[in-house]
Structure formats: C-alpha cells, structure tokens
Amino acid sequence: MIKAVFYTENGRLSGFSLTGHAGCGTAGNDVACAAVSSAAELTCNTITDFFGDEAEVCVLENTLTLRLKNEGCGYSEKLLESFKAHLGFISEEYPRSIQIIVK
C-alpha cells in the first residue's frame, strides 16, 4: 500500500510524503503505482520548475517528499489539493492501494 501524507500549515496544504508500493501488480507492471509516481513527479516539477516556488524535495528509495518553503504563488497549494484529489480517484479505482492522511 502507498502511504500518502499531506502536510498542512495554517490550514493550507504545504507538502506531501509518499512511501510504499500499491501492490496492484508485479514490479514494473503496477498501473496504480505508475499513476501515483507520474502524478507526484508532475506535481514536484510544476511547483519548482514552472511556478518557481521554493520547495525542499527529497527522493530516496521508495520515498518522495515535497515541503514548500514559503506560501508561494498560491497555485502550488491548488496543485497540492488537485494531487490529493487525484490520489483519491486512483484509490477508488484500485481499493486498498493508497492510504491518504492529512496532518
């Protein structure tokens, strides 16, 4: 199961952390895991490279974390909300593949 933790500050989303695997297929053939990974990379790259917001991004084996360093342009929070919703849609399609937690 993928564990997706979304962080909040002052009532606003400020980042996320992903760990684990969806377990919906063999390595390299897990559609749910690939969908989450692709959406997460798009989210990170859009925030840092296109919106130009400062964020701490950490990529380790089986872990991806992004934390905004400031409130940014406002679009980053909306993108984080969209990413969270997207993970919810994937979870509906692949039950027991993603656990979403908001802290």
The model's pTM is 0.93
The residue-averaged pLDDT of 85-101 equals: 96
How does pLDDT run across 30-57, given as a tens digit for each residue? 999 999 999 999 999 999 999 999 999 9
Query: How many CB atoms lie under 10 A from the CB of residue 80?
Result: 22
Cβ(88)–Cβ(35) below 8 Å: no
Tell me: pLDDT of 73 over 80.
no
- Domains in the chain, start-ordered, CATH in brackets? 2-102 (3.30.70.1490)
How does pLDDT run across 3-26, given as a tens digit for each residue? 999 999 999 999 999 999 998 887
- pLDDT on residue 80: 98
